Amino acid sequence: MIEASATVASIERAPSIRAERRPVIIWLVALAVMVFAMVVIGGITRLTESGLSIVEWRPLTGILPPLNPADWQALFERYQATPEYRKLNFGMSLESFKAIFWWEYTHRLWGRLIGIVFLVPFLWFAWTGRIERRLKPRLIGLFALGAVQGALGWWMVRSGLADDPFVSQYRLAAHLGLALVIYGALIWIAFDLAYPRATWPPSARRLRQGSMAVLLLVALTILAGAFMAGLDAGMIMNAFPLMGGRLVPEDLWLIEPPLWNLFENPVTVQFAHRLLGMTTVVAVLTLWWAIGRGQATGGSRRAVGWTAAMTLAQLGLGIATLLTQVPVTLGVLHQAGAVVLLTLVLWTAHHLGRPAPLARQRDIPRLAEPDAASAESPAASTS
């Protein structure tokens, strides 16, 4: 939540933003905050084993919770028919069922609220002409992805309502991955509206390419974490840096063909998550060093500095979560930390596409000539 608040504050201070853009930017950031919260609620729902408590998908009529004892009893009886109740929670009381129900209900309700907060302001902004023409297809596409995300969530839940009372790790990773695609797109569009970008010389473009490589590493690490969650891989090999007393554990390639171990073998999935995490740390610190010695903007240096700090914090959170066998609090913090890190990497990548102060960019071609007011204003030239 902190990084989104900081983004709003920086938006309000940015002198280059036209006044009519500010409401749209704040709306996009507010949506991103809601998606961030959705990921956190989803993490709590998963870690408290609440995700299979609602066995129906009713996008419209399911908005109301049970309103009387008869409603609660009917819901509980439907849950009692599931494999999760029969195999894992047999004998669960109605009160215990209510505890897991409310997390899943909140998760679904929050998704509906995101849809409303997206659609109503979008229609108003479109009607009043505040949304630029080039943005409309992107935003309509994001709304469509939000609808797909709701259906994908139910598809994931259905995988745990069959014989095996566990959701598919493939569907879990797809559900989390799409949420982060939506989140990242909202943040990136807000940055595009808030800050101008310019073409950079080859040396500076290489820094931006490096930031995009870091973004790819962060995304892969998060997806590997989703597979860890789906396989409960955090409940084994609870030591660091060794796994089973070895740097490279045994039993990495138990499944044939070997490729499937990366998705279905808990030992291999945890090893891949560790390896990707450590590679990300090295890549971020390398980018931090490269930006520090280059001719990037002060904003880029700040962004990559925060990214480096968050990367180390996320590494510490991950190790602590593993050593303690994934308690709810640490598990949620680690998942939230991944989204914060993703935000900071996006911030860094976007900054590397912004023009440097005039004194440092003699050879950087501008995308457009500044207007007369901007040319005369030192503040405008250094924004």
Residue 315 falls inside a structural domain: yes
145, 161, 196 - which closes a domain: 196
Domain-located, residue 97: yes
**How much is the average pLDDT of 239-266?**
95
If asked whether residues 249 and 100 sit together in one domain, one would say no
Of 163, 196, 229, the last residue of a domain is 196
Quick one: 93 exposed, middle or buried, by C-beta within 10 A (0-12, 13-18, 19+)?
A: exposed
- The pLDDT, as a whole number, for residue 190 is 95
Domain of residue 155, residue span = 17-196
Same domain, residue pair 153 and 239 = no
Tell me the whole-structure pTM to 2 decimals: 0.86
Domain membership of residue 312 (yes or no) is: yes
Residues 295 and 174 both lie in one domain: no
pLDDT digits (tens, 9 = 90+) for 293-338: 876 667 888 999 999 999 999 999 999 999 999 999 999 999 999 9
Q: How far apart are CA 158 and CA 161, in angstroms?
A: 5
Same domain, 291 and 362: yes
Task: Looking at the structure, tell me whether residues 169 and 300 fall in a common domain.
Answer: no
Domain assignment of residue 348, yes or no: yes
Q: Give the Cα separation of 161 and 174 in Å (integer).
A: 18
Residue 270 has pLDDT above 50, yes or no: yes
Alpha helices for 159-296 (secondary structure H): 169-194, 202-231, 261-264, 266-293
Same domain, residue pair 356 and 244: yes
What is the per-residue pLDDT across 85-139, written as a single tens digit (0 to 9) for each? 999 999 999 999 999 999 999 999 999 999 999 999 999 999 998 998 889 999 9
Are 191 and 265 contained in the same domain?
A: no
Q: Given this model, what pLDDT does residue 59 score?
A: 87
- On whether both 70 and 177 belong to a single domain, the answer is yes
**Structural domains counted in the chain:** 2
Contact 153, 178 (CB under 8 A): no
148, 206: one domain: no
**Contact at 8 Å (CB) between 207 and 287?**
yes
Q: If you compute the radius of gyration of the chain from its CA atoms, what whole number of angstroms results?
A: 23
Residues 150 and 72 in one domain: yes
Q: Are residues 243 and 191 in the same domain?
A: no
Task: Specify if 108 maps to a domain.
Answer: yes
**pLDDT score recorded for residue 369:** 37
| 314 and 334 together in one domain | yes
Q: What is the DSSP string of 80-131?
A: HTSHHHHHTSTT--HHHHHHHHHHHHHHHHHHHHHHHHHHHHHHHHHHHT-S
Provide the phi-psi class of 168: left if phi over 0, else alpha when psi is between -120 and 50, else beta: beta
Q: Is 269 exposed, middle or buried (0-12, 13-18, 19+ CB in 10 A)?
A: buried
Residue 242 lies in a domain: yes
